[in-house]
């Protein structure tokens, strides 16, 4: 039961209607020989745009949020919900409500949606936007899920602990970079060996194998903790993470199937921590015992208490990294499965040419332009964390491509990345998966690739809220693809399963 519901979250995180739209676009993967040029530079927009009142309203108290909630989570799904309102208001900036809300959530559902690249980018400016406790909107899961403390992702940049913890996370990743490639290749070989052994009986789903592989890889590179040293965690660690994640996130995830039951039973109240306390305690003990070196560096070099170091490591590992990759790697493989055969051929050629006799290295992967572009294009069309929030620190003006709007201190901005990164003013043929979109001159578009809560050519730091793992994520995905194309000539993928893995002949 749990697997069925959580796999819905993982693999259809924004609702079924949106997924079908995505599948349509992915099925149109092209093999264009030259990527489309950057259509427009945001900074070159005229500054004398007309001033407009933010259109839209929150409706009647209780009723307005309730109607919007049903549209968002049931009748329309998140994609259509935002698209329809853009059309209605003839604006990519407007007022609306987003769940969770009434009856048992205390959260305020009123937001100002920002749905184009230009208005969304205001959320990266920490002078005007505050990020305290709004990781998933005005609703915040209980701190009981995180050891009775607010972990890094819920801290604003003005809170001193944000700097300590973010620097700790980035330092940990940097230090473990020597083991990334060997750990990734060894674990993915184990995964593919197992899948190959099961293939004679028919297609093999990659969803659980990827979770097992990623849980082990991320535990080692983020916390220095090897699950193999703990039999319970080796067998059940990834499922314990899944349950802990699902119970926190369920209230915010639209599920258009099984309605109205989902609305009544899954979206009406926050879940209590005790449902997953056993899972969390087991994961906590694992990190405390096996991650000793990393924890003690958190204490000595970053002035964290032991408890702060452990709970933050666990959150980064489970929520940020494992949660993100559990959505991202399956969508990367799904994009590959829908791509025309010549795309696989080009990827394979590039991987083998750049890898040469030295084997995979950071340098060789950095030279694989098409592999990286494929990874970026997957993140553009299927950003694993679709929603971002930012609260106005003061009154300010926000600009879309067409108008300027006045935002009042305290108002909550809400950006929905799947539409933002299909902004037709920025991306040519925005609904189409173009594998080489980000190669050559197309690299300029990285400024508008926002999946990490910041531009892909930006730098995560203590003074912003960009994902601490930004480069690690794209590099890991590129390494994963490259390693796969060293091992196989072609792979056949459909319905989240491998059906053929054709071993490399040379």
Can you give the binding site for ligand HEM, defined by CB under 6 A? 131, 135, 152-153, 166, 169, 173, 222, 316, 320-321, 324-325, 328, 384-385, 388, 451-453, 465, 467-469, 472-473
Beta bridge partners of 414: 113, 389
CA distance 422 to 431: 6
Residue closer to ligand HEM (CB basis): 153 or 491:
153
Closest separation between CB of residue 456 and ligand HEM, Å?
A: 12
Closest separation between CB of residue 425 and ligand HEM, Å?
A: 22
Sign (positive or negative) of CA dihedral 283, 285, 290, 292: positive
Closest separation between CB of residue 168 and ligand HEM, Å?
A: 9
Residue closer to ligand HEM (CB basis): 45 or 161:
161
CA distance 371 to 349: 10
CA distance 102 to 344: 48
- Please list, residue by residue across 385-418, b when 16 or more beta carbons sit within 10 angstroms of its beta carbon and e when fewer do: bbbbbbbbbeebebbbbbbbbebeeebbbbbbbb
For 404-471, strand residue ranges (E) read 404-407, 412-416
Closest separation between CB of residue 46 and ligand HEM, Å?
A: 30
Closest separation between CB of residue 381 and ligand HEM, Å?
A: 13
Query: At a CB cut-off of 8 Å and minimum separation 6, what does 492 contact?
Result: 337, 498, 499, 500, 501
CA distance 451 to 115: 14
DSSP class of residue 128? Answer: T
Residue closer to ligand HEM (CB basis): 185 or 220:
220
CB 476 within 8 A of CB 451: no
H or E element, residue 483: helix 470-487
Where does residue 313 rank: exposed (0-12), middle (13-18), buried (19+ CB within 10 A)? buried
The runs of H, that is alpha helices, within 12-109 are 16-26, 63-70, 77-89
Residue closer to ligand HEM (CB basis): 345 or 471:
471
Residue closer to ligand HEM (CB basis): 254 or 460:
460
Closest separation between CB of residue 135 and ligand HEM, Å?
A: 6
Residue closer to ligand HEM (CB basis): 14 or 403:
14
H or E element, residue 451: none
Closest separation between CB of residue 383 and ligand HEM, Å?
A: 7
Residue closer to ligand HEM (CB basis): 320 or 355:
320
Closest separation between CB of residue 345 and ligand HEM, Å?
A: 27
Residue closer to ligand HEM (CB basis): 81 or 124:
124
Closest separation between CB of residue 157 and ligand HEM, Å?
A: 7
> Token pair 């940049």 is at which residue?
157
Residue closer to ligand HEM (CB basis): 375 or 501:
375
The runs of H, that is alpha helices, within 136-226 are 160-175, 177-198, 207-223
Closest separation between CB of residue 314 and ligand HEM, Å?
A: 12
CA distance 84 to 468: 34
CB atoms within 10 A of CB 234: 16
Closest separation between CB of residue 504 and ligand HEM, Å?
A: 27
Residue closer to ligand HEM (CB basis): 64 or 460:
460
> Token pair 């020989």 is at which residue?
33
Residue closer to ligand HEM (CB basis): 8 or 453:
453
């Amino acid at each position: 039961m749990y697997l069925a519901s959580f796999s819905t979250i993982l693999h259809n995180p924004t609702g079924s209607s949106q997924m079908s739209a995505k599948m349509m676009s992915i099925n149109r993967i092209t093999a264009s020989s030259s990527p489309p040029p950057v259509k427009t530079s945001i900074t070159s927009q005229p500054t004398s745009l007309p001033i407009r009142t933010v259109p839209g309203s929150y409706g009647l108290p209780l009723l307005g949020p309730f109607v919007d909630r049903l549209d968002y989570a049931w009748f329309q799904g998140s994609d259509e919900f935002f698209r329809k309102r853009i059309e209605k208001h003839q604006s990519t900036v407007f007022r609306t409500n987003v769940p969770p809300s009434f009856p048992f959530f205390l959260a305020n559902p009123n937001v100002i949606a920002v749905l184009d690249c230009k208005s969304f980018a205001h959320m990266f400016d920490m002078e005007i936007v505050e990020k305290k406790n709004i990781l998933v909107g005005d609703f915040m899961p209980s701190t009981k899920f995180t050891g009775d403390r607010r972990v890094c992702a819920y801290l604003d940049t003005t809170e001193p602990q944000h700097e300590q913890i973010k620097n700790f996370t980035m330092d940990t990743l940097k230090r473990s970079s020597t083991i990334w490639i060997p750990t990734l290749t060894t674990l993915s070989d184990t995964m593919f060996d197992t899948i190959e052994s099961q293939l004679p009986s028919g297609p093999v789903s990659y969803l659980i194998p990827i979770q097992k592989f990623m849980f082990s890889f991320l535990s080692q590179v983020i916390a220095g903790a090897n699950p193999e040293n703990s039999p319970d965690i080796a067998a059940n660690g990834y499922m314990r993470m899944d349950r802990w994640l699902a119970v926190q996130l369920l209230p915010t995830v639209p599920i258009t199937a099984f309605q109205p039951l989902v609305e009544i039973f899954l979206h009406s109240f926050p879940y209590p921590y005790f449902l997953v306390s056993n899972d969390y305690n087991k994961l906590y003990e694992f990190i405390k015992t096996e991650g000793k070196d990393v924890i003690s560096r958190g204490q000595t070099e970053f002035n964290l208490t032991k408890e702060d170091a452990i709970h933050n490591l666990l959150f980064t590992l489970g929520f940020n990294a494992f949660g993100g990759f559990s959505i991202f790697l399956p969508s990367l493989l799904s994009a590959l499965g829908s791509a025309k055969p010549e795309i696989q051929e080009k990827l394979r050629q590039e991987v083998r040419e750049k890898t040469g006799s030295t084997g995979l290295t950071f340098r060789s992967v950095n030279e694989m332009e098409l592999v990286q572009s494929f990874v970026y294009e997957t993140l553009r069309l299927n950003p694993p964390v679709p929603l971002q929030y930012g609260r106005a620190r003061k009154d300010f003006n926000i600009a879309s491509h067409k108008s300027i709007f006045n935002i009042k201190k305290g108002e909550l901005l809400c950006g929905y990345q799947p539409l933002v990164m299909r902004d037709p003013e920025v991306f040519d043929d925005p609904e189409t998966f173009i594998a080489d979109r980000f190669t050559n001159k197309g690299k300029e578009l990285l400024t508008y690739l926002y999946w990490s809560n910041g531009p892909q050519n930006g730098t995560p730091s203590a003074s912003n809220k960009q994902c601490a793992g930004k480069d690690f994520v794209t590099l890991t995905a590129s390494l994963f693809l490259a390693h796969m194309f060293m091992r196989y000539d072609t792979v056949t993928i459909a319905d989240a399963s491998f059906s053929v893995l054709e071993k490399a002949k040379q």
